[in-house]
Structure 1
Amino acid sequence: MSRSTIPCMLMRGGTSKGAYLLARDLPSTQADRDPLLLRIMGSPDVRQIDGLGGATSLTSKMAIVSASVRDDRDVDFAFAQIGVETDTVDTGPTCGNILSGVGPFAILRGLVEAGQDETTVRVWDVNTSSRMDIVVPTPGGVVEYEGDASIDGVPGTAAPILINFLDILGPRSGTVFPTGNPRDEIEGVQATCIDSVNPVVLLHADELGESGHEIPADLDADHPMLERLETIRRSASLAMGLGDAAGHALPKIALLSPPDDGGHICSRYFTPTHCHEAHAVSGAIAIAIAAQCPGTVAEDIGRHEQGDRRITRVEHPSGHLDVVIHLDPDQKVPDAIVSAGIVRTARPIMDGVAFV
């Protein structure tokens, strides 16, 4: 490999887009690696004009993939959120949308052998120390991208990719409610602090003076509300044992409200400085799990299902996102929650080398 180039595949994963790289093609130390990642994306620059980034947080992401060192997993996946206007590389959170491209990428790069019908890629998420299984359609041993699955926030249809999240109760803190309570009062508002895939703070939108059905641009323009939201997020982070959240993407935060389009609950999810144009997969899972648990701010609004297999439809600015929760009938929630599944789509956009 030339010292001026790095093999790179640009992919859409769910409602995000990012660069997918093999760990073996990058420097082994963070100090040497991070400047290269920033260079590839063109950060820091509001337009990311000198790199692959799309000038938004949803298109300034990276997946770093390698063969797994664990016997029960096929690949290790590290997610990196690349700052747009800042020279930050945040490997604290994970991204369920970018994750949806990891399965096809691992097959295309020869890390996993494709089956004749479908291929399950067993993933170890390095950032959250948790397991996911990605089911990729591979008829005839070839990754299929064309299909009838549609996801709100992405035009057209594509082949469905099923992601099953297996370690969803407290992957970071060891408990699904790190404060010890399903609901707390934080900075004068009712909040649920939940650790599921990513740590997320859930609030009632009306307590922030919002309906919860605003378009993202209107929420982004409400600077006093954003400042209050950040104050709540930082206080919640301390209460969750995550430390000072200033300058960090975690915990994320979401405003909840009753549904108005046939869903179970409505959400406006923040990244955390801007409202998401659609919704993060990890945030939707956190909301779906909170909705099953008595006493949370998600449980007391919206509609709820019963049974061992429950679907929670989360409404968001671009449409909706369905989360399938599987429960053990012999346990009580939240311990009864075994896994969460979600359907995404993904496709390669470009494969080649990035000049650095």
Structure 2
Amino acid sequence: MTGSDGVRCTLMRGGTSKGAYFLAGDLPADPGARDDLLLRIMGSPDPRQVDGLGGGHPLTSKVAVVSRSDDPAADVDYLFLQVAVDRPEVTDRQNCGNILAGVGPFAVERGLVPAGDTETSVRIRMLNTGELAVATFPTPGGRVDCTGDAGISGVPGTAAAVVIEFPQGDGPLLPTGNVRDVVAGTEVTCVDNGMPVVLIPAGALGATGYEEPGDLEEDVTLADRLREIRLEAGRVMGLGDVEDATVPKISLLAPPREGGAVTTRTFIPVRCHPSIGVLGAASVAAGLRLPGGVGEGIAELPGTGDRVRVEHPTGFLDVETDVDPGTGDTPPVVRRTAVVRTARKIFDGAVFPRSAETAPIPAQPSGGHHDSAAR
């Protein structure tokens, strides 16, 4: 359904992000035509995205495409698309754990999954990497209820909790095979627990790790170093040329200030995240539990329990992670990862894209078929 009829769409806040959710059948099957339509829906390219749904920031220019799954291990398939703000680009080379928080409720409301009487669990296959997640959320009386008393940092007020558990993936936790590498002259830990992330002590790059995101973004010298490290890390992590990709993420680590395990400043890829992504935090938490990693001497891990509190510029994110550090020739593996997020429907209806001005853009390279994109 396009043109004067609009396109059926649900705008949702998922975690600390906001995105447009679509059924796959409501979008063109051709990736180029689909991406051209999404650019016009979101209002890109334009720094303000004034003529579309986007909010002028990568965190508010996201898309979820959802459909029934043919995988017996999943109920629905979820394709995440990052729509660039200031350039005509749509990419599927990463997952988004924040937008993931809204997929289960969206699937129930659109009739893809039947609701339970009190709560519902939806098994989700993330097409970007092939990984699975299970989202559990309240459905009193068989209806999605977004109201509740769960609060997450970076989001005003409270909402219903969405508990997201990530089964162990097939890919290595340490993509390079090493708990510590030297990349572009800097000691780092490269980890992938759902999102490829490069962990770096903030002090190694001349930062404290407590700066405001805007101040870090204005540091030209830091931006150049981040780019250099990210490009080399992409190669050694098996991601290839990441010049035009948003992964791997980079997280600067500093000792905690608010009772958590660590303070972070995360870049996507050079803009500093005002909080931290769910999957990025899952990778950070797992990386902190690796003996010999760069987090040693920085992080203050709890003496008992699996919960790791990751501090970020606007608060914290709790990740429950259980890691077997491995011994000898046995590599480390993650036995369990779970996070608590919230999601809220903002509107449901039809969105009207601006008129087509150019031919559909070419489809971007698919992260879902990139061997090293898996966890």
What TM-score range do you get, normalising by the shorter chain?
Answer: over 0.9
**Structure 2 counterpart of 1:54, which letter?**
G
**Structure 2 counterpart of 1:69, which letter?**
D
What aligned pairs does 1:29-108 form with structure 2 within 5 A after superposition?
A: 29-108=30-109
> What CA distance in whole angstroms lies between the structure 2 residues aligned with 1:167 and 1:82?
29
CA contact (8 A) 1:292 1:334 kept: no
What aligned pairs does 1:256-271 form with structure 2 within 5 A after superposition?
A: 256-271=253-268
Which of 306, 313, 317 is 2:309 aligned to? Answer: 313
> What CA distance in whole angstroms lies between the structure 2 residues aligned with 1:271 and 1:282?
13
TM-aligned CA deviation for residue 336 of structure 1: 4.8
2:343 matches 1:342:
no
> What's the TM-score once normalised by structure 1's chain length?
0.95
Partner residue, 1:352: 349
CA contact (8 A) 1:167 1:197 kept: no
1:106-159 Cα shifts (integer Å, max 9, x gaps): 011000100011100000000011010000111111111111100000001111
Partner residue, 1:224: 221
> What CA distance in whole angstroms lies between the structure 1 residues aligned with 2:143 and 2:332?
38
2:187 matches 1:187:
no
Partner residue, 1:248: 245
> What CA distance in whole angstroms lies between the structure 2 residues aligned with 1:28 and 1:165?
29
* Superposition RMSD in Å: 1.6
Going from structure 1 to structure 2, the CA distance change for 1:176 and 1:326 (only over 3 Å counts) comes to closer
Match of 2:306, SS state, is strand
> What's the TM-score once normalised by structure 2's chain length?
0.90
Residue ranges of structure 2 left out of the alignment (5+ in a row): 354-375
> What CA distance in whole angstroms lies between the structure 2 residues aligned with 1:254 and 1:317?
12
74-83 vs 186-195, which moves further: 186-195
What aligned pairs does 1:107-146 form with structure 2 within 5 A after superposition?
A: 107-146=108-147
Greater length-normalized contact order (CA 8 Å, ≥ 6 residues apart): 2
TM-aligned CA deviation for residue 327 of structure 1: 5.2
Which of 316, 322, 328 is 1:326 aligned to? Answer: 322
Which of 301, 304, 317 is 1:304 aligned to? Answer: 301
Partner residue, 2:370: none
> What CA distance in whole angstroms lies between the structure 1 residues aligned with 2:323 and 2:291?
15
Which of 278, 290, 301 is 1:293 aligned to? Answer: 290
Going from structure 1 to structure 2, the CA distance change for 1:296 and 1:157 (only over 3 Å counts) comes to same
Partner residue, 2:368: none
TM-aligned CA deviation for residue 261 of structure 1: 1.0
> What CA distance in whole angstroms lies between the structure 1 residues aligned with 2:303 and 2:134?
25
CA contact (8 A) 2:226 2:270 kept: no
> What CA distance in whole angstroms lies between the structure 2 residues aligned with 1:196 and 1:326?
11
> What CA distance in whole angstroms lies between the structure 1 residues aligned with 2:333 and 2:41?
43
Q: Equivalent pairs: percent with the same residue?
A: 49
TM-aligned CA deviation for residue 231 of structure 1: 0.7
Partner residue, 2:209: 212
